[in-house]
């Protein structure tokens, strides 16, 4: 805290202390006001300007210092100056004083609060930017909310001072008028309670409800304006309650929920049911990882008391197993299953014609037009292909195409280049290396898995290199070339060009939302890398929702399903109750070996957001089950609020890290701290005990040492 802030805080404390020490509050009582009314009236008659100026200054000072007694001073204004002059003086004095208190809070406390609660305050500020004026106006209309608290708390936000002033001026006007008017009848009032009659309290309740009603009206006007160009084509009746475009995770869950609540729903999918996860992402990659891990364990059999054995296998058979796994899981997402659940499934391309109509071109060439009250866009994402010169000439595969292309090969490509150092690139690089390829991973950034802490990135790099992956960070791909039979990637690093010869190139530099081809641009739905949505997943048109990869901000199957619940429920029941998407506890995992799993904040995010934290770390190398499995590497790292066991985030590196994380996801979701995890029985010997031991490390670090010292003395005394 700076010197100026300390000085101001001391001055405020001295002023409030003087008010208490001198018992100035005795002058701010109802009885004192009634007893002094005649004297004030006489003084005002003699020197009206001076009395008005002093009154204005006292009111500003009392409000700025948050001194109790504003009601009495307001009554006095009505009693001495009358309704209109009193209202004028009180309205401006109270608003000016409130703004000074607002600025004092901002000057003294905001930096400190931002340093300790940066992320939470950032979320609040985001809300203030959107609807802060509306909520402030609502609070100002309801006098039961202490105004001094509003002044102090709003000062901690990023609301503009001028916005705070004029909204406060308008919002407090109605309540101020009531109290000033009551002051004009001071002689007839028996107490302050006489002002708060049931009728008056009822009027305040109506004042509180008014902005909510006004908000509904404003929303209705905005809705009418948005749909104005489509008014002539809006159907009078609808074929369906919901149409879902896209049969991936978000689309399937949206359709499932709609069918479960007996809504009439149509799901449109042009290609493969199950979307990216089943066909190109989660499922095939995990099948490949399992085969690669078994090959790795065979080569390192001595770790388990067996002989090291070079695995003998057919790469075509490995890829066939991947497709067999996909086929085994396909029924879970099949047309037959969802039809049986009550969902109408149409296989074809859906295109928005207007906010309620979708034109479907079926795979057999037929065209249908369907109408629905609500529509969910769940079109997913596609691999990003960098604009490298020569890329098409040398050929490449993506995380979508490699499963079919590599399945055609008898042997794994000898030399593979993987572009990208994110989770997909790392998983594929390690797997292909373990299956015998010479893998070079090229990453433009300084490290792989850049969203994780530096120590996690370093461990991931070490793991990949131990399996033979050549990891080239700080290398920017420039172009691809063909020289005879050789395919070459040219990259730059530290101002020099390097050449990497390859037989197969895998583009794994990320995925981008599918935003074209189904009519968003035709009806004017805004997009910026993803479909623009609000906190309820509504697009520009309130009846059109987006969920999953196409909506962002996460590209995980589980978050797509999570969003789908909100999209479906809001689409079907939003006229009665809508739910904001909850992103507070989002887990994810990268399935390299050892696995990397995380939920909540890691250290680099906490530092970037200015959030104070403590770190508790438990090394899995000390865990009995990990030692027995020859998997004794990695750690559990927990970030907590300083001095408390409340969990801010967890990173786990180790065998089955993705499974171990579930306990922390549950704890964070339901507000359980490390003490609860420590007090939970964990089966011995399991990897899950790592979570309990991490909690134990926190407990030891926060043991009450002084109390334990006295307990030791007690035990010494008991021994005689």
> Cβ neighbours of residue 229 under 8 Å, at least 6 residues apart?
none
Q: In this predicted structure, what is the pLDDT of residue 690? A: 97
Q: Is pLDDT of 8 > 60? A: no
Q: In this predicted structure, what is the pLDDT of residue 17? A: 62
CATH number of 240-382+513-573: 3.50.50.60
Q: In this predicted structure, what is the pLDDT of residue 677? A: 97
CA 585 to chain centre: 8
Q: What is the DSSP letter of 517?
A: S
CB atoms within 10 A of CB 46: 8
Tell me the CB-side half-sphere exposure of residue 587, using CA atoms within 13 A: 20
Structural contact between residues 76 and 33, judged by C-beta atoms closer than 8 angstroms? yes
The span from the CA of 266 to the CA of 238, in Å, is: 12
CA 420 to chain centre: 25
Tokens representing residue 589 in the block:
């995992």
Lowest mean pLDDT among 134-138, 188-192, 299-303: 188-192
Structural contact between residues 507 and 405, judged by C-beta atoms closer than 8 angstroms? no
Q: Is pLDDT of 614 > 60? A: yes
Q: How far is CA 283 from CA 1, 213, 275, 433, 434, in A?
A: 53, 49, 11, 19, 19
Q: Is pLDDT of 436 > 70? A: yes
CATH 3.40.640.10 assigned to domain 594-705? The reply is no
Per-residue pLDDT reduced to its tens digit, 149-192: 777 778 788 888 888 888 888 888 877 777 777 667 654 555 55
Query: Closest Cα to residue 478, out of 448, 508, 458, 500?
Result: 500
Tokens representing residue 430 in the block:
């390690």
Tokens representing residue 445 in the block:
């950034």
Q: In this predicted structure, what is the pLDDT of residue 351? A: 96
> Cβ neighbours of residue 467 under 8 Å, at least 6 residues apart?
296, 430, 433, 434
Q: In this predicted structure, what is the pLDDT of residue 30? A: 47
CATH number of 391-510: 3.50.50.60
CA dihedral sign of residues 334, 336, 338, 344: positive
DSSP 268-293: EESS-TTHHHHHTSHHHHHHHHHHHH
Q: In this predicted structure, what is the pLDDT of residue 446? A: 96
Q: Is pLDDT of 23 > 70? A: no
Q: Is pLDDT of 20 > 60? A: no
Domain definitions of the chain by residue range: 3-211, 240-382+513-573, 391-510, 594-705
Lowest mean pLDDT among 10-19, 136-145, 152-161, 355-364: 10-19
Per-residue pLDDT reduced to its tens digit, 479-517: 999 999 899 999 999 999 999 999 999 999 999 999 999
Structural contact between residues 125 and 158, judged by C-beta atoms closer than 8 angstroms? yes
Tokens representing residue 682 in the block:
């964990």
User: Tokens 């579930």 belong to which residue?
Assistant: 662
Q: In this predicted structure, what is the pLDDT of residue 452? A: 97
Residue 502: strand, helix, or coil: strand
Mean pLDDT of 66-81: 68
Domains 240-382+513-573 and 391-510 belong to one CATH topology: yes
Lowest mean pLDDT among 91-100, 266-275, 516-525: 91-100
Interstrand relation of 367-377 and 544-546 (parallel, antiparallel or unpaired): parallel
What is the average pLDDT value for the chain, to the nearest integer? 87
Q: Is pLDDT of 553 > 60? A: yes
Confidence of residue 80 (pLDDT cuts 50, 70, 90): confident
Query: Longest C-alpha distance within the chain, in Å?
Result: 109
């Amino acid at each position: 805290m700076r010197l100026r802030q300390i000085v101001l805080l001391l001055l405020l404390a001295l002023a409030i202390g003087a008010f208490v020490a001198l018992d100035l509050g005795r002058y701010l009582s109802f009885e004192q006001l009634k007893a002094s009314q005649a004297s004030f009236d006489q003084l005002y008659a003699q020197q009206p300007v001076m009395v008005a100026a002093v009154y204005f200054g006292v009111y500003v000072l009392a409000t700025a210092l948050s001194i109790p007694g504003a009601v009495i001073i307001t009554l006095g204004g009505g009693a001495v100056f009358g309704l209109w002059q009193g209202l004028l003086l009180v309205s401006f004095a109270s608003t000016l004083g409130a703004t000074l208190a607002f600025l004092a809070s901002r000057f003294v406390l905001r930096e400190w609060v931002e340093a300790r609660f940066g992320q939470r305050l950032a979320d609040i500020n985001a809300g203030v930017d959107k609807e802060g004026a509306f909520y402030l106006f609502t609070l100002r209309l309801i006098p039961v909310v202490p105004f001094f608290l509003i002044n102090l708390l709003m000062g901690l936000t990023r609301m503009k001072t001028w916005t705070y002033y004029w909204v406060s001026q308008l919002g407090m006007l109605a309540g101020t008028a009531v109290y000033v008017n009551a002051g004009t009848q001071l002689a007839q009032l028996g107490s302050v309670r006489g002002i708060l009659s049931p009728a008056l309290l009822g009027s305040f309740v109506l004042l509180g409800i008014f902005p909510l009603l006004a908000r509904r009206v404003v929303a209705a006007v905005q809705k009418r304006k948005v749909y104005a160009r489509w008014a002539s084509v809006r159907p009078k009746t609808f074929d369906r309650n919901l149409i879902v475009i896209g049969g991936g995770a978000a689309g399937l869950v949206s359709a499932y929920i709609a069918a479960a609540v007996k809504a009439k729903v149509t799901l449109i999918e042009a290609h493969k049911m199950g979307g990216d996860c089943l066909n190109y992402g989660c499922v095939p990659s995990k099948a490949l990882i399992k085969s690669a891990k078994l090959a790795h364990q065979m080569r390192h059999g001595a770790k388990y008391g067996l002989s090291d054995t070079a695995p003998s296998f057919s790469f075509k058979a490995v890829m066939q197993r991947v497709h067999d796994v996909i086929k085994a899981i396909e029924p879970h997402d099949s047309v037959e299953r969802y039809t049986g659940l009550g969902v109408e499934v149409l296989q074809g391309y859906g295109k928005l014609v207007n906010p309620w109509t979708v034109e479907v071109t079926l795979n057999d060439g037929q065209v249908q037009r369907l109408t629905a009250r609500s529509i969910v866009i769940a079109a997913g994402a596609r691999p990003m292909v960098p604009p490298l010169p020569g890329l098409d000439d040398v050929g490449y595969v993506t995380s979508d195409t490699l499963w079919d292309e590599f399945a055609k090969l008898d042997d794994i490509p000898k030399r593979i280049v993987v572009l990208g150092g994110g989770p997909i690139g790392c998983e594929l690089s390690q797997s292909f290396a373990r299956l015998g390829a010479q893998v070079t991973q090229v990453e433009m950034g300084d490290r792989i898995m850049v969203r994780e802490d530096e120590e996690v990135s370093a461990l991931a790099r070490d793991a990949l290199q131990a399996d033979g992956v050549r990891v080239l960070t700080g290398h920017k791909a420039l172009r691809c070339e063909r020289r005879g039979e050789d395919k070459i990637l040219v990259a730059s690093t530290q101002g020099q060009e390097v050449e990497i010869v390859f037989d197969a190139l895998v583009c794994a530099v990320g995925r981008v939302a599918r935003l074209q081809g189904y009519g968003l641009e035709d009806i004017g739905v805004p997009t910026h890398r993803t479909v623009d949505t609000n906190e309820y997943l509504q697009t520009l048109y309130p009846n059109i929702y987006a969920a999953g990869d196409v909506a962002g901000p996460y590209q995980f199957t589980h978050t797509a399903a999570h969003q789908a619940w909100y999209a479906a429920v809001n689409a079907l029941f939003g006229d009665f109750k809508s739910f904001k998407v909850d992103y507070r506890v989002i887990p994810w995992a990268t399935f390299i070996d050892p696995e990397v799993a995380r939920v909540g904040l890691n250290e680099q995010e906490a530092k970037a957001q200015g959030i104070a934290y403590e770190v508790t770390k438990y090394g899995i190398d000390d865990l009995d089950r990990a030692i027995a499995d020859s998997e004794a590497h990695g750690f559990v790292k927990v970030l907590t609020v300083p001095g408390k066991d409340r969990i801010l985030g967890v990173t786990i590196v180790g065998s089955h890290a993705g499974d171990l994380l579930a306990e922390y996801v549950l704890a964070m979701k339901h507000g359980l701290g490390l003490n609860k995890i420590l007090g939970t029985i964990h089966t011995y010997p399991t990897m899950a005990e790592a979570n309990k031991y991490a909690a134990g490390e926190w407990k030891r670090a926060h043991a009450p040492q002084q109390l334990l010292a006295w307990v030791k003395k007690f035990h010494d005394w008991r021994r005689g």
